[in-house]
Amino acid sequence: MGGFRYCDASLPYAERVRDLVGRLTLEEKVRNLGDRAEGAARVGLPPYLWWGEALHGVSDTGPGGTRFGDVVPGATSFPLVINSAAAFNETLWGAIGGAVSTEIRAMYNLGHAELTYWSPNINVVRDPRWGRASETPGEDPFVVGRYAVSFVRAMQDIDAGGPGADPFARPIKVSSCCKHYAAYDVDAWLTADRLTFDARVEERDMIETFERPFEMCVRDGDASCVMCSYNRINGVPACANARLLSETVRGEWQLHGYIVSDCDSVRVMVRDAKWLGYNGVEATAAAMKAGLDLDCGMYWEGAQDFFTAFGLDAVRQGKLRESEVDNALRNLYLTLMRLGFFDGIPELESLGADDVCTEEHKELAADAARQGMVLIKNDHGRLPLDINKVHSLSLVGLLQHINATDVMLGDYRGKPCRVVTPYDAIRKVVSATSAHVCDDGACGTAADVKTVDATIVIAGLNMSVEKEGNDREDLLLPWNQTNWISAVAEASPFPIVLVIISAGGVDVSFAQNNPKIGAIVWAGYPGEEGGTAIADVLFGKYNPGGRLPLTWYKNEYISKIPMTSMALRPVADKGFPGRTYKFYGGPEVLYPFGHGLSYSNFSYASDTTGASVTARVAAWESCKQLTRKPGTAPLACPAVNVAGHGCQEEVSFSPSVANRGSRDGTHVVMVYTVPPAEVDDAPLKQLVAFRRVFVPAGAAVQVPFTLNVCKAFAIVEETAYTVVPSGVSTVLVGDEALSFSFPVKIELAV
């Protein structure tokens, strides 16, 4: 091996990989196209297990690439992604990604992990019934994309590299993979399931919603992997769609890495979707020719991945070129080269057991849970509870919620460092805390709650209701919780506090409208330190500042639109009201996207009363048409195509955020743009920037924003062009009662 060029660390990665692939026989090549790559002992190539999961901490899901035990009994289990998203804090997202990658790299050094992890999940939550909402950053494609960039950069970056640096030669700490591409958000709803579902999607929705987070992940985050999804899109499986994979991900977005299938997706084409009547050989050839590099098989079925099983025959039968196999292997082994799989990365080799489950990481998990808590109701200042007045307390709920050793960890968890339950944490604050466990039918606590100073009810969902492979049937609390929560509230002499454990929105109209339920806190699935975070918020040690990353609809919503309708905009002839805050036009929702209260009172001030921008349309550009409302006057140049424009124009402003309360607090400033009123079928508003800021009590801080016109004011026309419309758009800062706005006149000069 001393003479093999692929072993010469002084040579460029690309040259070494070319030498490695060139030394392999066709049989050896094919045996390395699956997630359990066999290697090739003949040329010294070791085997490798590609499948790793790190959604919200190091997980041992998969065929054994990540292993807990002996020197690594567990790893930090952070809140579920939907919780972290509710913090609206990119710095936090990056800190979590950095901690997770450090623990992975430490475990790798100890022989307990590999280096490729298929996280984050960046599918947009289009429908509130989707079972995998807990795994994602919510319903807004911009927020989802920014989460992806922050998390992936922190997972991967050692040195971002300077201008002109070869991105394929940039070393990375851990390979991060954005999934599931694309238009995937139906798991199992009525007769529809993800293995056979054909998502019928308009091109505008693909660009505007379903593709946007992935484009941001690849272009801005420089992710080294993209995972394609099970479903078909307009008849074609995502993992065999050359337009999506080769043309878009690798061609337009310039992926510097590999493309992997969601596990068993190639088999699904044959067994479940029965796509074009293809057999294993034909499906393998179609997927590889479309740009798929690695096939993940289903290890728990003892099944061999299709590429390994049928790749050899695909080449021998003339359906696949060996050069296409070579291209896939080059993408895979370039990634491993960048990870130091062959050479090591000296600055990371000192990491070990002391870098896993550190006190710093556990505190970060607690802080992430605190930042993601959302105060959604607080009548008459019921919260925070005053520890000087609350000497006895009743904690009521299902055992799985009040002693949430399992529920708080959610799905794709590993083995946590520890678990602090709500009961444990609350009892540390109020020693006279009595726990009352309810069952599915009733909660016999009426006598008990009458004699205590405060009652906290913890209720909600769990992974049997919302998880991968299981979409929700409704938006209500299961297990008769509504009835016994109301009974407890009625029996209590003081308004009770309700804590909701869930990912998706829950119709708690009964609680919102009940004056005997004084406060509601959404806790999500807050991870191993979740109990501490809940107690800190309830007793005022932490002032909540989270915002809902999802619209919470009333249960009537589910009768208005089937989950399988992929359209985001309202469909008038079918009575579909639209989806997400950007397009929903139905009756009032329970809690809007971005809703969140605080123990402080904030206000805005701004000197900006308006702005104007002149964008010069160059000779090589052409004006684009806009779908305008009937009766509006035509324009000489209605819009300009973002793809061909220089995009140097900006709008800057700097609002002041004042804290008029008596407590220090954090506040999320959310910035939306609203297209010109004359434009038809446009988003009602779209989030284009956000920032979480700390504001001391009685103080004010300036929060500067600079909006790039092409990014912040662009819309996707029905022709699927992304354009900047001429006319008067609006910048809207804030939500609900706390907001201000100003007009921005955009003139397109031809």
CA 257-262-264 angle, 5° bins: 130
Spatial separation of the C-alpha atoms in residues 461 and 500, rounded to whole Å = 8
> What is the rounded distance in angstroms from the CA atom of residue 685 to the CA atom of residue 704?
21
**CA neighbours within 13 Å on the CB side: how many for 240?**
26
Q: Any catalytic annotation for residue 262? A: yes
Instruction: Point out which residues pair with 666 in neighbouring strands.
Output: 694
β-strand partners of 300: none
Its sign, for the CA torsion 59, 61, 62, 65, is positive
Rounded (to 5) percent helix, strand, coil in the chain: 30, 20, 45
Characterize the bridge pairing of strands 225-228 and 258-261: parallel
- Residue 504 near residue 133, CB atoms below 8 Å: yes
Helix orientation angle between 422-429 and 530-538, rounded to the nearest 10 degrees:
40
The two structure tokens encoding residue 487: 């009974």
- What residues contact residue 371 under an 8 Å CB cut-off, 6+ apart? 84, 86, 87, 89, 92, 545, 546, 666, 692
Euclidean distance between CA atoms 633 and 239, whole angstroms = 45
**d(C-alpha 415, C-alpha 76), whole Å:** 8
- The number of CA neighbours under 13 Å toward the Cβ of 416 is 25
What is the distance between the alpha carbons of residues 32 and 335, in angstroms, rounded to a whole number? 14
Catalytic residue among 187, 262, 355, 735: 262
Six-digit token string for 654:
């700097």
Q: CA–CA separation, 322 vs 29, rounded Å?
A: 9
Q: Which of 597, 534, 506 is nearest to 369 (CA)?
A: 534
Rg from Cα positions in the chain:
26
Is the distance from CB of 472 to CB of 514 less than 8 angstroms?
no
CA–centroid distance for 53 within its chain: 14
β pairing state of 232-233 and 198-199: parallel
Burial (0-12, 13-18, 19+ Cβ within 10 Å), 640: buried
Q: Which of 650, 670, 683 is nearest to 583 (CA)?
A: 683
Q: Which residues contact 741 (CB under 8 A, 6 or more apart)?
A: 674, 730, 731, 732, 733
- Are the C-beta atoms of residues 137 and 122 closer than 8 Å to each other? yes
Cα gap 119→104, rounded to integer Å: 13
d(CA 240, CA 578): 30
**Pair 223, 177: CB distance under 8 Å:** yes
| DSSP 8-state class, residue 726 | P
Q: Is 120 helix (H, G, I), strand (E, B) or coil?
A: coil
Spatial separation of the C-alpha atoms in residues 589 and 535, rounded to whole Å? 29
For residue 517, what are the CA distances in angstroms to 153, 436, 455?
Answer: 42, 18, 10
Q: Give 47's DSSP letter.
A: P
DSSP string, 236-263: EEGGG-TIIIIIIIIIIS--SSEEEEST
* Among 20, 150, 159, residue whose Cα is nearest residue 96: 150
| DSSP strand pairing (517-522 vs 374-378) | antiparallel
| Both tokens assigned to 81 | 């992604």
Token pair recorded at residue 276: 């074009």
C-alpha 172/C-alpha 695 separation (Å) is 36
Catalytic machinery residues: 262
